[in-house]
Structure 1
Amino acid sequence: MKINKIDHIGIRVTDFVRTQAFYALLGFAPFREDMNERVVAVSHPCGITLNFLDSADNNYGIKNVLMDIAEKHAGYTHCAFHVDTIEEALKFTKENNIPISEGPVTFGNGKTSLFIRDPDYNVIEFTQDPGT
């Protein structure tokens, strides 16, 4: 079997409207809404597709169960979006009053990253290749 690409990433959310507004700031636009399935699909001009699933509870308040509690559970921890420069990402977060949760930080592979959270505290990484 040949895998060609990632088709989409599903993200559980607590509020469709709030989530869509946040991801619209990043350039995502809805192309499918199905309230029977409780899903909103959004796409970005670069080809990324996300499916928001309206099935999350809020039992953890302002915490992400995979990232913010001492016990470490298996699961996806974040989504990384490649950007031209971290400086542009910093400017974007400042202009849109989005708190930075970590960074900028340069890793051993030379990539520099900046981390933010979406309205449900899912981690989003903006990453820049070394030397750019």
Structure 2
Amino acid sequence: MGDTIAIERVDHIGIRVRHLDRALGFYRVLGFELAHRAKGDDVAIVRNTHGVELNLIFNANAGDPEANILMDIRDKFPGYTHMALRVASIPATLAALKANGIAITQGPVSFGEPGHVSVFVRDPDRNVIELRGREQGEIEGVARYVP
């Protein structure tokens, strides 16, 4: 094998969306704010206070699908299935999701490293987001995930 590339960190994540305002509203609940949007460009850059950057690319096909083509259909195509975002507090995350009417699609669930819990949600375009954090204290309904 030849030389390797020294990757320092993830720079940003690009997410294709249908409706920019709807996507911005959802990602604001996750702590992201609009950082830049150039006139005539189909990309809105959002960042949180920790420097995590998402590029919301609003050029998806019109309509609201019932399914995410990578996650919800029987055929399993290659591609990115979800992003996982580290949260400071699972209890606070659960409370914020409930207060904002965002449904949990899976979890809270424990897997991988002991003491970590994840909840999964979908954005308005059915993209899967894992919100993962330490189990701080008692969290009701945590199941151990066994594949």
| TM-score under structure 1 length normalisation | 0.91
**Are residues 1:118 and 2:127 paired?**
no
Runs of at least 5 residues in structure 2 that lack an aligned partner in the other structure? 138-147
- Secondary structure (helix, strand or coil) at the match of 1:126 reads strand
Q: How many residues align?
A: 132
SS in 2 for 1:98: coil
What is the root-mean-square deviation of aligned Cα atoms in Å?
1.8
1:109 paired residue number: 113
Of 18-27 and 105-114, the range deviating more from structure 2: 105-114
Query: Residues 131 and 21 of structure 1: is their aligned pair in 2 closer, same or farther, counting only changes over 3 Å?
Result: closer
1:68 aligns with 2:68: no
Computing the radius of gyration from Cα coordinates, the structure with the larger value is 2
In structure 1, what is the Cα distance between the partners aligned to 2:117 and 2:87?
10
Q: Deviations over 1:68-118 (max 9, x none)?
A: 111111111111111123211111111111111000011143221000111
Aligned to 1:2: 6
**Counterpart in the other structure of 2:99:** 95
Q: Does 1:30 align with 2:11?
A: no
Q: Which amino acid aligns with 1:117?
A: R
Deviation at 1:62, TM superposition (A): 2.2
2:141 alignment partner in structure 1: none
- Supply the distance in 2 between the matched residues of 1:89 and 1:40 (Cα, whole angstroms): 25
User: Counterpart of 2:56?
Assistant: 52
Whether 2:84 is the aligned partner of 1:80: answer: yes
CA contact (8 A) 2:118 2:133 kept: yes
> Which residue pairs with 1:127 in the alignment?
132
Runs of 5+ unmatched residues, structure 1: none
Cα drift, residue 24 of structure 1: 1.1
Distance 1:70 1:58 in 2: 23
